Amino acid sequence: MAESRSDTVFSGSIPELYESHLVPLIFEPYASDLAARVAALQPSRVLETAAGTGVVTRALVRALPAHVDLVATDLNQPMLDRAAAVGTDRAVRWQQADALHLPFDDAAFDVVVCQFGVMFFPDRAHGFAEARRVLRPGGTFLFNVWDRIEENELADTVTAALARLYPADPPRFMARTPHGLFDRQTIAADISRAGFTATPRFTTVAARSRAPSAAAPAIAYCQGTPLRNEIEARAPPTLSEATASCTAAITERFGSGPVDAKIQAYVVEVGR
């Protein structure tokens, strides 16, 4: 239970490393994809949940006309603080909010969008029901989730390396949470339990994860995600030693130069 609670803790230096290392590594391609899908719906008011450090928010600002009202929320204030510090090209309303208890009126938005956040919901059906509640009739809930960890080569490599380093109690954050919600039937069932009557549409989106060296993704995963909390709870080996072990494992798999690895996710779209 303690580790499940730590899965949602993005504090200390995590927000900065998340933004500088993890965002360009795995999140930017999917942010552009989601923003284009939102723009195609021609909304007038958009709510983003689990906005993190704002990679999707910035993509939405670029993709949507200036008159569209955009509200970006996250459970973790330090992540929103980092997002606000990075900034956007026009005004965005940043607001700390729990996706399971949204502080907005019923039928207030045309689109609710969430990038790689629903896996962190302690009660997904309730979180989906909240998205449905704040959507206007005819509105759209749009989110994405990572495919199984084996389809995401860097996360898989890091998880395997840490299992070798901590054999008695392997840190399993990546497999447990970010890559723990890949079964389409489970997702569809949660959507149905939330009160959506439309059939959700699933789209598989594969992309490439590129970095200048093996060290960059090792730092991104070990120090820029809640995986760090698990590593530090187990030390020794120390966080720096764990990062070095993951760097070596990535180098062994992808070579000593720039890294080019597969990432894969599902985009899920369901109408209100």
Interval 14-54: pLDDT, tens: 888 889 899 999 999 999 999 999 999 999 999 999 999 99
Q: Mean pLDDT over residues 121-137, rounded?
A: 97
Is it the case that residue 11 has pLDDT exceeding 70?
no
Q: Pick 2-271's CATH classification: 3.40.50.150, 3.40.50.2300, 3.40.50.1220, 3.40.50.1000.
A: 3.40.50.150
Q: Mean pLDDT over residues 128-133, rounded?
A: 98
Is it the case that residue 8 has pLDDT exceeding 80?
no
Which of 41, 51, 6 shows the shortest CA–CA distance to 272?
41
Contact 140, 250 (CB under 8 A): no
Question: Which alpha helices (H) appear in the chain, and where do they start and end?
Answer: 2-6, 14-17, 28-40, 55-63, 77-86, 124-134, 153-165, 173-176, 184-193, 215-223, 227-234, 239-254
Please give the structure tokens belonging to residue 214.
Answer: 């093996």
Lookup result for tokens 């995600």:
225
Please report which confidence band the pLDDT of residue 135 belongs to, taking 50, 70 and 90 as the band edges. very high
pLDDT in tens, 183-206: 999 999 999 999 999 999 999 999
**How confident is the model at residue 18, as a pLDDT?**
87
User: In the sheet that 69-74 helps form, which strands lie side by side, from edge to edge?
Assistant: 93-96, 69-74, 45-49, 109-115, 135-146, 259-271, 201-211
Q: What DSSP letter does each residue of 124-153 carry, written as one string?
A: HHHHHHHHHHHEEEEEEEEEEEE--GGGSH
Please give the structure tokens belonging to residue 221.
Answer: 């995963």
Contact 14, 209 (CB under 8 A): no
Please give the structure tokens belonging to residue 258.
Answer: 């720039």
**How confident is the model at residue 12, as a pLDDT?**
72
Q: For all residues of the chain together, what is the average pLDDT?
A: 94
- What's the rounded Cα separation, in Å, for the pair 256 and 92? 41
pLDDT in tens, 215-260: 999 999 999 999 999 999 998 999 999 999 999 999 999 999 999 9
**How confident is the model at residue 16, as a pLDDT?**
86
Contact 270, 141 (CB under 8 A): yes
**How confident is the model at residue 7, as a pLDDT?**
57
**How confident is the model at residue 1, as a pLDDT?**
38
Percent residues over pLDDT 70 in the chain: 96
User: Domain residue spans in the chain?
Assistant: 2-271
- My answer on whether omega of the bond before 237 falls inside 30° of 0, hence cis, is yes
Which of 107, 182, 200, 114 shows the shortest CA–CA distance to 146?
182
- With 0-12 / 13-18 / 19 or more C-beta atoms within 10 angstroms meaning exposed / middle / buried, residue 79 is buried
Contact 35, 8 (CB under 8 A): no
Is it the case that residue 151 has pLDDT exceeding 60?
yes
